[in-house]
C-alpha cells in the first residue's frame, strides 16, 4: 500500500489510526522543505522514529534528564561524529550511558518527533509498505493511539492558552520593570524558555524556530505554556507597536532629543559652508508636508531648546492627535533630518556625509532609556536609525 498527501492534524490522526488498525509494517515519511521525520511501523506499532535533528534532540533530552552536562554533550557529539557512529550507540559502547537509559530516552525522542508533526503548519507525507530493517537501532514499540490522544489534548488546550497570550506577531521582551527585590522560583524549563525572549522575534516565530532547533525537546504547547507563565509572573511582557510606544514618550524629551541631533548637523555644516547652513535648513523645510511646516515653522536649532519647545507646543494646539502629537512630531522630525541628509552628498560629497552619519550613530549609541516607561527612547532611536539607513541606501543606489 502507498499513500501520500498534505499534513493536516485530522487527516494525520486518521492515517495513523488506519496504520494501527490494519497492523501495517512500513515507512511513514513527513517533510516540509527543511525538516524531515521518518516513522517506522511494525504490525501497527511505532518501533522507531528519526528526524533531521535527531542527534540534537537526543542530546537535549539527555540534558533535560540530567544524564550528561552541556559540556559533555558537545564533546561526545564531536567524538561520535569523528568516529561516524550513531550518537546513542557511541554513548553506550563507551560506558557513558546505560543501555536502559538509552532505550528510555529514545522512547521519549520517538514520542517527541511524532508529536512535532501535529504542530506543523504545512508539509507533505508519504507512506509505503516495506520490510523494516532496524539493525543498529533500538526499537521503541509505541502505541500510536497514545500519541494521537496526547496531541489532540495539547492542541485543544493550546486553543485555550492562546486566548490569554498575545497574538503571534507580537514581540516579547524581558520586562524592564521587574521587582529586583522579589524572588522568582522558575523551573529549569521556564529558565530555558526565558533565554529565548530577545525583544526582536515575534512570538509565533520564536516558538516555531525553537521547537525545530534549540528547544527541540519541547512542543509548541509547552513553549506557549511556559511563556504564559513568564508573562503572568511579570518577567516577560509584550513590546507595544512602535507607534504606541512613541505616543507614551514625553513630548518635551522627544523635542529635546531631535533638537540635539539637529544641532550636531548644524554645527558640522557651519564649519563646511558657513551661513549657507541656515538657507539649507530653510530649503529642506519646504519639502515637508503642510502640517509639518506649521509645526516646525518657528523651529530653529540655533535657538534655545526651551524656546523651540514652546513654539512647537503652541503649534500642536491646532493639531488634534489622540497621542498628543508625539507620533506626528517623530515622523516630521525624521522627515526633516532625512531631507537635510539627502542634500549633503551633492553639496559636500560622500565623505562629509559618512562622517556626519558616524557622528549621529555615536550619539544614538550613547542614549540610554531612563528608568521610566514614559521616557523609553528605544522606539525614537530605532526610527531615526531606519531613516538614516534608508537615506544611505538611496544614495548608494543612485
Model confidence over 57-114: pLDDT tens digits? Answer: 677 778 777 788 878 888 888 888 888 887 888 888 888 888 888 888 888 888 888 8
- Helix, coil or strand: residue 164: coil
**Which pLDDT value is given to residue 68?**
81
| Bridge partner list, 126 | 4, 29
pLDDT category, 373, cuts 50, 70, 90? Answer: very low
Residue bearing the bigger pLDDT, 2 or 243: 2
pLDDT (0 to 100) of residue 242:
60
| Contact between 222 and 259 (Cβ < 8 Å) | no
pTM over 0.85: no
Are 337 and 392 a contacting pair, CB within 8 Å? no
pLDDT of residue 371: 44
User: In this structure, what DSSP letter does residue 240 have?
Assistant: P
d(CA 386, CA 334): 9
Side-chain-side CA neighbours of 107 within 13 Å: the count stands at 12
In whole angstroms, give the CA distance from residue 112 to residue 57: 9
Residue 169: which pLDDT band, with cuts at 50, 70 and 90?
confident
Q: Is the pLDDT of residue 249 over 60?
A: yes
Cα–Cα distance between 209 and 230 in angstroms, integer? 19
Q: What percent of the chain has pLDDT over 90?
A: 10
Pairing of the two strands 2-6 and 124-129: antiparallel
Question: Residue 59 in contact with residue 77, Cβ under 8 Å?
Answer: yes
How confident is the model at residue 248, as a pLDDT? Answer: 65
Amino acid at each position: 500500500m502507498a499513500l501520500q498527501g498534505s499534513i493536516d492534524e485530522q487527516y494525520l490522526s486518521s492515517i495513523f489510526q488506519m496504520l494501527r488498525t490494519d497492523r501495517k509494517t512500513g515507512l511513514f515519511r513527513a517533510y516540509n522543505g527543511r525538516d524531515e521525520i521518518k516513522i517506522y511501523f511494525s504490525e501497527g506499532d511505532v518501533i522507531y522514529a528519526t528526524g533531521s535533528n535527531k542527534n540534537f534532540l537526543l542530546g537535549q533530552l539527555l540534558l533535560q534528564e540530567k544524564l550528561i552536562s552541556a559540556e559533555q554533550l558537545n564533546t561526545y557529539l564531536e567524538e561520535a561524529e569523528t568516529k561516524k557512529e550513531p550518537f546513542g550507540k557511541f554513548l553506550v559502547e563507551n560506558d557513558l550511558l546505560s543501555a536502559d537509559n538509552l532505550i528510555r530516552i529514545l522512547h521519549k525522542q520517538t514520542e517527541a518527533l511524532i508529536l512535532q508533526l501535529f504542530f506543523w503548519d504545512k508539509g507533505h507525507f508519504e507512506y509505503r509498505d516495506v520490510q523494516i530493517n532496524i539493525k543498529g537501532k533500538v526499537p521503541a514499540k509505541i502505541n500510536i493511539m497514545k500519541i494521537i490522544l496526547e496531541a489532540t489534548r495539547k492542541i485543544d488546550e493550546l486553543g485555550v492558552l492562546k486566548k490569554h497570550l498575545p497574538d503571534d506577531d507580537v514581540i516579547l521582551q524581558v520586562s524592564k520593570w521587574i521587582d529586583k527585590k522579589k524572588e522568582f522560583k522558575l523551573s529549569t524549563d521556564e529558565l530555558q524558555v526565558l533565554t529565548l525572549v530577545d525583544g526582536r522575534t515575534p512570538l509565533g516565530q520564536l516558538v516555531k524556530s525553537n521547537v525545530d532547533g534549540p528547544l527541540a525537546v519541547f512542543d509548541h504547547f509547552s513553549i506557549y505554556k511556559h511563556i504564559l507563565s513568564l508573562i503572568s509572573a511579570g518577567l516577560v511582557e509584550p513590546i507595544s507597536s512602535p507607534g504606541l510606544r512613541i505616543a507614551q514618550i514625553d513630548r518635551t524629551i522627544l523635542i529635546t532629543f531631535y533638537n540635539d541631533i539637529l544641532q550636531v548637523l548644524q554645527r558640522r555644516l557651519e564649519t563646511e559652508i558657513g551661513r549657507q547652513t541656515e538657507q539649507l535648513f530653510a530649503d529642506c523645510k519646504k519639502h515637508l508636508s503642510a502640517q509639518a511646516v506649521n509645526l516646525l515653522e518657528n523651529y530653529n536649532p540655533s535657538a534655545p531648546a526651551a524656546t523651540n519647545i514652546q513654539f512647537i507646543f503652541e503649534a500642536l494646539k491646532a493639531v488634534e492627535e489622540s497621542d498628543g502629537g508625539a507620533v506626528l512630531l517623530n515622523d516630521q522630525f525624521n522627515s526633516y533630518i532625512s531631507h537635510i541628509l539627502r542634500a549633503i552628498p551633492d553639496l559636500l560629497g560622500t565623505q562629509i556625509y559618512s562622517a556626519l552619519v558616524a557622528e549621529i550613530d555615536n550619539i544614538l549609541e550613547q542614549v540610554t532609556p531612563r528608568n521610566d516607561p514614559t521616557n523609553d527612547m528605544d522606539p525614537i532611536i530605532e526610527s531615526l536609525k531606519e531613516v538614516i539607513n534608508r537615506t544611505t541606501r538611496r544614495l548608494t543606489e543612485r
